[in-house]
Amino acid sequence: MSSVKKSGTYILGDREVYRLGYGAMQLAGPGVFGPPKDPEMAVKVLQAAVEAGVNHIDTSDFYGPHVTNQLIRKALHPYPASLCIVTKVSARRNEKGDWIPAMSPAELTQAVEDNLRNLGLEALEVVNLRSMLDVHGPAEGPLEEPLETLITLKKRGLIRHIGLSNVTAKQVADAQKMTPVACVQNFYNVANRQDDALIDALAAQNIPYVPFFPLGGFTPLQSGELNDVAEKLGATPMQVALAWLLQRSPNILLIPGTSSLGHLQENLAAADLQLPDWALTALENIKP
C-alpha cells in the first residue's frame, strides 16, 4: 500500500479522495508570482504526486497568475477520472504581484472562466470562495453577494460544488443558509489552533476542513518543540506536523505543497507516521 492510501479517505463534494493531497501554490515563482525557475521539474512533481496516488490537487488561477493551472494542464491533462482539482477565486494580482480583492460578480465570473480555460475543464469540481475582507486572515462581514455569483455559476453548470476559505464560523453558517458548503480551507496547524471548534463542528456535519500552512506562524520556541519531537521520532518537522493533522480529526484533508521531488516524497511519507501518545502530548502542549 502506498503512503498516500494509508492516509485514509474522505468525501469532498461528491468525490472520495485520499486525505493526503497536494497544493500547487509553490509551483509558481517567488512570492507565488511569475513562472518557476524550472517548469519541467514542476511538471515532474505533479506527475509524481498523481503516480503516488494523490487524487486531490488544490490550486488557483491567481497563483502566478495562471502559471500553476497551466502547469497542471500540461502535466496531467487529460485528467485521471479519480482526480479532484479544487480551485479558489476572489483575488487577483497586480503588476507588482500584490494580492488584490476581486469579489465583484464580473471578477468572480472571469476568474471561474480563467480557471476553466487554463485547466482545460468544462466544469470545476470545487471552487472555494476566499474571503478578501481581510487579506491576512478571517474577518467578519457579509459574503452573500459573491456567494450569489458562485451559486449562479453553479446553476449554469460551470461549478459543481462551492467551498469557503479564510472565513469565520459565522460566515460558514451564513453560507450554509444559501448553499451546501463542500469544504472549508483556513490557516491551521498544531501551533495555531483558533479553528478547533470549527473543525469539530464541520466533522459532525461530514464537511472536510483543509488547513493551509502546516508549518506557518510558529515562534522560535514552538519550532524548537516541534523539532525536538521530530528528532526523537527520526522524522522531519513537516512530517510530524502533517501526521498530527491527520490524527487531529478524520475530516481534515491535507494539501502540502512543494516544487521538489525529494520533499514531495518526504511529505507523502507523513501518512506512514503514527504519532505515539508521548509525541501527541508534547505537541498538544505547544503553547499558542
Which residues are designated catalytic?
A: 63
Cell readout for 84 is 479532484
Give alpha helix (H) positions in 99-219: 105-119, 144-155, 169-176, 196-204
d(CA 225, CA 219): 10
Q: Which amino acid is at 107?
A: E
Q: Which amino acid is at 32?
A: V
d(CA 27, CA 134): 25
238-242 contact pairs (CB < 8 A, 24+): 238/214, 238/263, 238/266, 238/267, 238/270, 239/266, 239/267, 239/269, 239/270, 239/273, 240/270, 240/273, 240/275, 240/279, 240/283, 241/189, 241/190, 241/214, 241/215, 242/20, 242/214, 242/267, 242/270, 242/273
Strands 15-18 and 9-12: antiparallel
Q: Which amino acid is at 108?
A: L
